[in-house]
Amino acid sequence: MKRSSALAGLVPAAFLLSAASGYYITPSKNRILPGDDSIAPGSEFTVGKGDIFYRRPVGRSFVAELGGDLQLTIAGKTATLAKGMQLNVARTVGGTAAERLGEAGVFCAPMERNWNAAKGIANLLTLSLFASAQRTEVNTQFCLADSDADGLVDKAFLAGAKKQEDLQPIDITPTPISVERDLPLPGLSEIRLRFSGKVGWFNNIGIDLEVVESGEPLFFNNGRTVISMKKLPEEVNLFGASFTVLSYDPETKQARIRWNRGFAPGEYGVTTTTTTTYIPVYVPR
């Protein structure tokens, strides 16, 4: 079995909860933030192996801040949402109960995983019976709704609730909610381009696309663009950025680049896929 991860721009966000749930949430994603480029179009410059030659900050597409304290109890689960708490702004809400929300704006607390290992093992042999007896899915998420688009959340629901009586949004004290767009992530948070020099066994050079969020690098398999030295000059396009690798000097191990434009603002995400490889085995008998 092999796992591979790929970075993609403007991708549909992964559903946090099963499509069979009463509600499932598509959250807003992190985003390449708009800004002025430090490199003028048409500029030419030289880069050496390992040099980062372009960077742009990344942040949250949307962040909501709660303006008051709320105490919630739904489907036997409780949560305290404190004033000033940051909530994710849902891009879309689907599921069998989504129509109960109408056109309301939805803001969600972090997802919780509800799994008791001891109980899970004890009920492993009767898993279907155990699952059907639960009021919620393994993953749950408290969400608030602004029904009238007036900047006040007035209803709450639990994404991951299973029983019909738990799917009806409950009324709450109208509480202010404010939304901010393009909020930078804390710490070192950027998307950048690095010249990786000569790569592989052939006459190739590489350009690496890297993303760092709050000091932590994202790992994905499709971040390197490989260019044959025989095909130079070669134009490269990555996430809206465009530049031409004009030449490479094997003696100095430097490349000459002509800049066109920088990254385009937009959402991005890492998707992971799993594949299974079957290897035939011969057993003489």
Each residue of 46-96: pLDDT tens digit? 999 999 999 999 999 999 999 999 999 999 999 999 999 999 999 889 888
Q: Are residues 53 and 90 in the same domain?
A: no
- 30 found inside a domain: no
Residue 172 has pLDDT above 80, yes or no: yes
- 67 found inside a domain: yes
Winning range, highest mean pLDDT, from 67-81, 127-141, 213-227: 67-81
Distances (CA, A) of 118 to 26, 50, 138, 222: 31, 49, 14, 39
Q: Are residues 55 and 196 in the same domain?
A: yes
Question: Using 50, 70 and 90 to split pLDDT, how confident is the model at 8?
Answer: low
Top pLDDT among 127 and 242 is at 242
Q: Are residues 161 and 199 in the same domain?
A: no
Residue 6 has pLDDT above 80, yes or no: no
User: Which pLDDT score, from 0 to 100, does residue 125 have?
Assistant: 47
Top pLDDT among 185 and 130 is at 185
Top pLDDT among 90 and 285 is at 90
User: Which pLDDT score, from 0 to 100, does residue 223 have?
Assistant: 86
Q: Are residues 95 and 125 in the same domain?
A: yes
**pTM of the complete model beyond 0.85:** no
- 117 found inside a domain: yes
- Specify which residues 81 forms β-bridges with: 70
Q: Are residues 75 and 180 in the same domain?
A: yes
User: Which pLDDT score, from 0 to 100, does residue 37 have?
Assistant: 86
Between CA 150 and CA 141 the distance in angstroms is 23
Residue where a domain terminates, one of 131, 163, 184: 184
Residue where a domain terminates, one of 158, 184, 210: 184
User: Which pLDDT score, from 0 to 100, does residue 3 have?
Assistant: 52
Q: Do the bridges between strand 190-199 and strand 170-184 make them parallel or antiparallel, or are there none, so unpaired?
A: unpaired
The answer to whether 200 touches 176, Cβ cutoff 8 Å, is: no
User: Which pLDDT score, from 0 to 100, does residue 113 have?
Assistant: 83
State the chain's mean pLDDT as an integer.
85
Q: Are residues 177 and 204 in the same domain?
A: no
Say which DSSP state 200 is in.
T
Q: Are residues 230 and 159 in the same domain?
A: no
Q: Are residues 166 and 91 in the same domain?
A: yes
User: Which pLDDT score, from 0 to 100, does residue 215 have?
Assistant: 95
- 24 found inside a domain: no
Domain extent for 155: 62-184
Q: Are residues 43 and 127 in the same domain?
A: no
Residue 253 has pLDDT above 60, yes or no: yes
Give per-residue burial for 212-251: e unless 16+ CB within 10 Å, then b. Answer: bbeeeebebeebebebebeeeebeeebbebbbebeebeee
Q: Are residues 53 and 76 in the same domain?
A: no
- 23 found inside a domain: no
Give the SS3 label for residue 33.
coil
- 113 found inside a domain: yes
Residue where a domain terminates, one of 184, 215, 232: 184
- 168 found inside a domain: yes
Q: Are residues 107 and 132 in the same domain?
A: yes
The closest alpha carbon to 259, from 47, 50, 35, belongs to: 47
Residue 142 has pLDDT above 70, yes or no: yes
Number of domain units in the chain: 2
Stretch 246-251: mean pLDDT, rounded? Answer: 96
Q: Are residues 80 and 52 in the same domain?
A: no
Residue 283 has pLDDT above 50, yes or no: no
